[in-house]
Structure 1
């Protein structure tokens, strides 16, 4: 897809489709008013006859003659007073989805015109970035094991129009960032949707290697089980003990910032399939446990995003990847293992395995003396109970880092909600036989928080945040599939960090 800005006035725009906004009050504004007047009050007629009511995402494609554009695409944007980035995103995605079902090859969007100021740098950046991201969102297709999902897409060019105003650089930057983030998010979704017999730890290595080989500032190191054993990563190895598929630890370094800049560490949980181990999960929906590596897929997506944009940043991406399956060699409930940090762990539930692999990954990451560490994981079912499918759970030992991540979520519609990490919760994971238990032993409830408290024991004195994406990483039901979250949030954070 080619993304570009279009500085021409409406009557000079040459395109197949011209996208404009309609609000539910029926009042035409900006580009919509100009297009209406130039086409014999055609839009007024549509509104009067309720062919369009301005509901968010409602789309109508109208053929016109004698103009430099072939179609007017009316896009419902809801209440004018409530126009927001979230509603804009919904409207754009709906309209592009509708256009993608036609044979049209080009579109110019003026959905924002009359509602947002395109000459405002921040607004310009957001409007264009959302436009590019939305295309990639609606054009994602999973075809690896189902070829019939393939749809022919004729659309080749998407432009954001200024209606004669100067196209400030932020518009172009937004398109570039949105394109890179959108493509990386497609990769995240693809990796998540792949079945576990394809998307193994070894497969994740191959994908990461292909990405990192494209950038001269990037290097890749992969630890095998023998190397992990030498490093005393017994917490991670206890999870893969029952599996014949070999575990891998992917360590990708991107050094494109100044030499004095401390790296940002991103860690993603990579359980490519989670049966629960000996603490076996119920069979219902167990197939969805192929998504237990969405923290890893997001980490790999971020590798692609930062290398494609060549961000001026130093970052280390760590992916501990393995399967959690039962066998005669699997870890048993009650086993005690010694982590890389030297902390002993009583494994009371083998289905609380994500924290075990993250513990060693976070310990390993400290050798880079990072500025901060962030881990992402489909960690707890308790987070789904607490926050549903809307907010990711956010926990941190740093108020500043937590605030930054929260704001990044607000800016990208990839929202989080912070949960407390207090001593009261930490006291729930004590063990009579080890330094810490991997689940609560003193009281019930707060499973998401106690998992965060467990991880906090392995981050040393570094600023750290944990993002639990168990409720947001994939959708269930008729639209079952990976969502790509929290790519928007984390991309925003890394882009912001690259500017400091």
Structure 2
């Protein structure tokens, strides 16, 4: 598993700046003003920083952008990186600035000079998240040598460490999610996925793995139907974090299809290799649990993930099959590639039957239609509760994780009508993301506040984002961690 870059906070020594090797990072405000550390670097470099700050190039640059001064006169450093950032930045700008530090490379020691910078914890978070690189299967690399250190020099180390601690817990969860989502399916089988979640017991999470015989006894026939063509056994992993007294738990439910060929309704070959990310919803749920356990959240949270593999085989589920859900409704399988909603239907129902949650969120890389609607900038957001979804959208906005609410309406239910069963598992091409959400809503009990997040466009991207390289993003961990902190912690 990928480890976070070693980030330490050290006491600022203005007189020692000249001797620092590697890359030195300083911050200059849009108006050219500097803190004491940046001023010292400016003096050491014979006003090179001032000349840069007064240039049109710096004036036109966006907040969080950076410029390099190579092999500066008067310093031992290989380079000075000048990052444009207000002395009192927003959290978003601070994270962008941190990301700019890592985007410039981490092949040498990086020393950030920030004696009095506000939101230094967010700067460090941006550095750590953008430094992530999934390199487990690339030979060579750094031959086992540890990555160069990220050192942040501040005046008050205790305050900086306290500010960063909950954000570091977030980062731990994001990295866990990214690793799970990036793993190839021959490594991250359903069994291996479950074993990694069992590892969360070390943090105090109660973890239970439900195997196929128990799932059969419980009546999870739609979930089992998805996985019946695979050699990997289907599982449901139940995680519980008890940090909030006797309060009813907040529930998270994730789709964990470790690989999705589409089953008998097989997908086109081009791009199928990316279907290792079809467990992205379960990955986010797992990352949130790691975050809240790491920071010892004072909340009760349960998280359940349905782990299956959707493969074509002589035993695989067929179009035209009729299956009965745990709830008791019947579904005709029109397309075996619409399998995620079948997994979630049973797990959602089981979650409510067993835990009676105060509120519930499910996450899934569910539909390609949501990418057509919202691109890769926003997750599709559906809910039966305006207050609950409002709190989530506020948390997502504060964490810079794009989310956009789409409608639910009984008018769409007619698209799921079926001739021989209670419903079809797809509603056709029109409003594909909405009909998928309408399908799931049938398995949400009346009175349970619920949000469905379709993360197909945001869980895994072909181009890097501000805080991530291409591949898995870990979208949703930060927003849900904040939602738990703001709404459910006692």
TM-score normalised by L of structure 2: 0.88
SS of residue in 2 equivalent to 1:279: coil
Matched, 1:337 2:323: yes
> Which residue does 2:151 correspond to in 1?
158
> Which residue does 2:443 correspond to in 1?
458
> Which residue does 1:368 correspond to in 2?
355
Within 1, Cα distance between the matches of 2:407 and 2:102?
40
Matched, 1:420 2:407: yes
> Which residue does 1:121 correspond to in 2?
none
Gap change, CA 1:344 and 1:314, over 3 Å in 2: same
> Which residue does 1:140 correspond to in 2?
132
Task: Output the aligned Cα RMSD.
Answer: 3.0
**Of 230, 245, 251, which residue of structure 1 is paired with 2:232?**
245
2:26–2:112 contact (8 Å) kept in structure 1: no
Matched, 1:183 2:208: no
Within 1, Cα distance between the matches of 2:116 and 2:360?
37
> Which residue does 2:300 correspond to in 1?
314
> Which residue does 1:42 correspond to in 2?
48
Within 2, Cα distance between the matches of 1:247 and 1:314?
27
The offset of 1:11, in angstroms, is: 5.5
> Which residue does 1:266 correspond to in 2?
252
Residues 231-263 of structure 1 deviation map (CA, whole Å, 9 limit, x = unaligned): 1111111111211211111111111221x2111
1:263–1:314 contact (8 Å) kept in structure 2: yes
Gap change, CA 1:307 and 1:61, over 3 Å in 2: farther
Matched, 1:445 2:430: yes
2:242–2:299 contact (8 Å) kept in structure 1: yes
Within 1, Cα distance between the matches of 2:125 and 2:38?
27
2:306–2:347 contact (8 Å) kept in structure 1: yes
> Which residue does 2:477 correspond to in 1?
487
The offset of 1:208, in angstroms, is: 0.4
Matched, 1:434 2:421: yes
- How many residues in Structure 1 have an aligned counterpart in Structure 2? 474
2:209–2:238 contact (8 Å) kept in structure 1: yes
The offset of 1:132, in angstroms, is: 3.2
Structure-to-structure mapping, 1:23-42, within 5 angstroms:
27-31=32-36, 34-35=39-40, 38-39=43-44, 40-42=46-48
Structure-to-structure mapping, 1:217-296, within 5 angstroms:
218-258=205-245, 260-296=246-282
2:219–2:325 contact (8 Å) kept in structure 1: yes
Within 1, Cα distance between the matches of 2:84 and 2:116?
10
SS of residue in 1 equivalent to 2:203: coil
SS of residue in 2 equivalent to 1:251: strand
Matched, 1:467 2:473: no
Structure-to-structure mapping, 1:88-127, within 5 angstroms:
88-98=94-104, 100-102=106-108, 104=109, 107-110=111-114, 113=117, 118=118, 124=119, 127=120
Gap change, CA 1:64 and 1:143, over 3 Å in 2: closer
1:272–1:290 contact (8 Å) kept in structure 2: yes
The offset of 1:38, in angstroms, is: 3.6
> Which residue does 1:378 correspond to in 2?
365
The offset of 1:296, in angstroms, is: 1.1
The offset of 1:37, in angstroms, is: 5.7
The offset of 1:21, in angstroms, is: 2.6
SS of residue in 2 equivalent to 1:376: strand
Matched, 1:402 2:410: no
> Which residue does 1:131 correspond to in 2?
123
Matched, 1:57 2:43: no
Structure 2: 5+ residue runs without aligned partners? none
The offset of 1:93, in angstroms, is: 1.1
Gap change, CA 1:308 and 1:475, over 3 Å in 2: same
The offset of 1:342, in angstroms, is: 0.7
SS of residue in 1 equivalent to 2:332: strand
Residues 251-287 of structure 1 deviation map (CA, whole Å, 9 limit, x = unaligned): 11111221x2111111111000111111111111011
Residues 48-86 of structure 1 deviation map (CA, whole Å, 9 limit, x = unaligned): 57786645433315556778x9577333438x6996443
> Which residue does 1:215 correspond to in 2?
203
Gap change, CA 1:146 and 1:318, over 3 Å in 2: same
TM-score normalised by L of structure 1: 0.86
Within 1, Cα distance between the matches of 2:50 and 2:284?
45
2:32–2:53 contact (8 Å) kept in structure 1: no
Matched, 1:73 2:56: no
Residues 419-444 of structure 1 deviation map (CA, whole Å, 9 limit, x = unaligned): 11111123321222222221116xx4
